[in-house]
Each structure stands twice: as C-alpha cells, then as structure tokens.
Amino acid sequence: MNLYSRSMQVPRALGKSERQRLIASVVTRRRIGSQHELQGVLADGGCAVTQATISRDIRELGLEKTHDLLGRPRYVLPERTRRADPRETLASVLSQFGRSVTAAQNIVVIQSELGSAPAIARAIDQLEHPRIIGTLAGDDTCLVIAKDAREARVVAGELGAVIA
C-alpha cells in the first residue's frame, strides 16, 4: 500500500468476528511477532483497535507464540483444522509407541518407547475416561490412576487391547 492510499483510508471499527477473521488472516500470511506489530498492521489496513482488544482477541483465537526458522517470534493459529477423536489419537500413539500395559492395585503402568510417555498421558487425559482419575508420565512410563483395583484392571484391558 503506498503513502497516498494509506492517507485516504479512514480507520474504522470492525465487529468482533470480522476483526478476529482479519487477525487470523494476517497471522497466517505474515510473520507477526508482537501485539504492537499486529496493532500496526491492523491500523495500516484501516482497522483502529486498542492493545487491550488485541490481547483479548489473541486469547480468544487461541493464537500461539512460536518461532520461525530464523528464531524470530511469531504468532500462529492453533492446529485445530480438524479436532481428532481422542480415541483415535490414543489408539494411534499407543499402537506406535506402547510396549506393555500392567495393572498394579489402582494404577495402570504403561511402558513405552523412550520419550513417548507424555504423549500417551496427554492422549489418555483428553479421553476424559470415567474410570480414570489422572495420569503421570516420565520418559518411557505412564502411570494411569484409577479409582480402585477393579477399575484399573478394566482400564488395563482396554489399553492393552490397543497395543496387542
């Protein structure tokens, strides 16, 4: 946009959904590393907005701050194009990296490939399984806490069937 066309643009207030679509489009097409940069780009496009509004929009859009290939900060849209079924995610990660499943009292112990236990724990947490209270992950071991020993055996059977 040249200087003449910028001076001819009158800043306008966009509605929330329109503004958020614009922000999503901008961060998809350009490297935006700060709220101040985003505010400037929006102003250049004729959208006057406060920093507080930008901060709220970033939070509501779920923008994530990462780094580009050169190490510079950059906002990106969350990876939510298609929210995967948590059961499919768990089946995928367990079948690839799970090695064994054992019930021990009210705990299910999952042995896995080195470095994969946190991904397995996260996939289990996303299931929101009614028999599971929570998980704890190390590097190659994931502990799944059930309400009691009987529940742990049921959970171990379900998880073990995926690995087998």
What CATH number does the domain containing 151 carry?
3.30.1360.40
**In this structure, is residue 72 part of a structural domain?**
yes
Could you give the 3-state DSSP secondary structure of residue 5? Answer: helix
Of 47, 76, 105, which marks where a domain is finished? 76
pLDDT value of position 132: 96
CA distance 45 to 35: 15
pLDDT string in tens for the chain (164-residue length): 444 444 444 556 778 888 888 899 899 888 999 999 999 999 888 888 999 999 999 999 989 888 877 788 999 988 754 456 788 889 988 998 999 999 999 999 999 999 889 989 989 998 889 999 999 999 999 999 999 999 999 999 999 999 87
Neighbours of 23 (CB within 10 A): 25
Q: What is the pTM of this model?
A: 0.52
| Order of strands, sheet of 132-137, starting from the edge strand that comes earlier in the sequence | 98-104, 107-112, 141-146, 132-137
39 Cβ neighbours under 8 A, 6+ residues apart: 49, 51, 54
The strand pair at 73-76 and 107-112 is best described as unpaired
Tens-place pLDDT, residues 80-111: 544 567 888 899 889 989 999 999 999 999 99
Here the CATH number for the domain that contains residue 31 is 1.10.10.10
Residue 90 and residue 159 in one domain: yes
CA distance 33 to 111: 40
**In this structure, is residue 53 part of a structural domain?**
yes
Residue 97 and residue 71 in one domain: no
Residue 118 and residue 136 in one domain: yes
Domain count, the chain: 2
Of 76, 104, 138, which marks where a domain is finished? 76
**In this structure, is residue 132 part of a structural domain?**
yes
Burial class for 163, CB neighbours closer than 10 Å (0-12, 13-18, 19+): middle
**In this structure, is residue 81 part of a structural domain?**
no
Residue 71 and residue 95 in one domain: no
Domain span including residue 112: 86-163
Q: CA geometry: angle at 123 spanning 119 and 126, to 5°?
A: 140
CA distance 69 to 72: 7
Of 34, 56, 76, which marks where a domain is finished? 76
pLDDT value of position 88: 87
Residue 63 and residue 91 in one domain: no
